[in-house]
A and B are shown apart, each in its own frame.
Chain A
């Protein structure tokens, strides 16, 4: 399977702990995106990478959030000092440089207790 993969699929953590998620995009895709989805809503854009460069961050991405894509391949999203409001599905997507179609992974469901 050469689709977008995300790990872990589920994460339960206590408030105040740090968590890190990983995304492996489709291998030939240079663009990588992170979105967050809460219950009853559509995905909301968080941040975007063109190769290893992070080109945009949403206002939703507070200082507690950081994302990296060190070699232009996989990406990590870290949340420090988690809060209950961080509970959501975190989705990763990738695309080519020329297509508007983004291909999503299965997501990481975060529950902060």
Chain B
């Protein structure tokens, strides 16, 4: 069963504008959330994470927001750059668990 869902398979955004990627989860035991970025022919690269004790975490152009009551998180990229064109995966785990559950990914294309 898919416990982490990314319902938008693709997103196209103009360079310099904001990219917003969404992720929903069903397992209320999840308490740690991560975003990974993946280029073709490479493995996923860790981008940013957030624990359930926070509702926001920021790192440069990337901000992750967590809404626990809605079981929803989002990744904001501001401003979007051409190098951000990639597949973005949302992942979740429980604090003492070690395996990550991934969504199916969202392909972001940044247009010049």
Contacts and interface: CB of A to CB of B under 8 A. Distances in A.
A, B: real partners: yes
A89 B45 CA distance: 15
A56 B49 contact: no
Interface string B29-71: 0001010100001111110010000000000000000000000
B99 A33 contact: yes
B86 to A, nearest CB: 14
Interface string B76-94: 0000000000000101010
Interface stretch (A11-19, A42-50, A66-74, A77-85): A42-50
- By Cβ-Cβ distance, the 3 closest A-B pairs, closest first, are A42-B102, A104-B43, A45-B99
A102 interface: yes
A42 B103 contact: yes
Contact of A100 (B42, B44, B49, B103): B49
Interface string A75-113: 000000000000000010101000011111111000000
A102 B100 contact: yes
A22 interface: no
Contacts of B36: 104
Interface size class of B (residues with CB under 8 A): 20 to 34
Nearest to B95: A100
Nearest to B47: A101
Interface in A32-56: 33, 35, 40-45, 48, 55-56
Nearest to B105: A42
18 contacts: A33-B99, A41-B105, A42-B4, A42-B102, A42-B105, A43-B44, A43-B89, A45-B99, A45-B100, A48-B98, A55-B98, A91-B43, A91-B44, A93-B43, A100-B93, A104-B45, A106-B41, A106-B43
A43 B102 contact: yes
Contact of A101 (B42, B43, B46, B99): B46
A100 B43 contact: no
Contact of B49 (A40, A101, A103): A101
Contacts of B42: 106-107
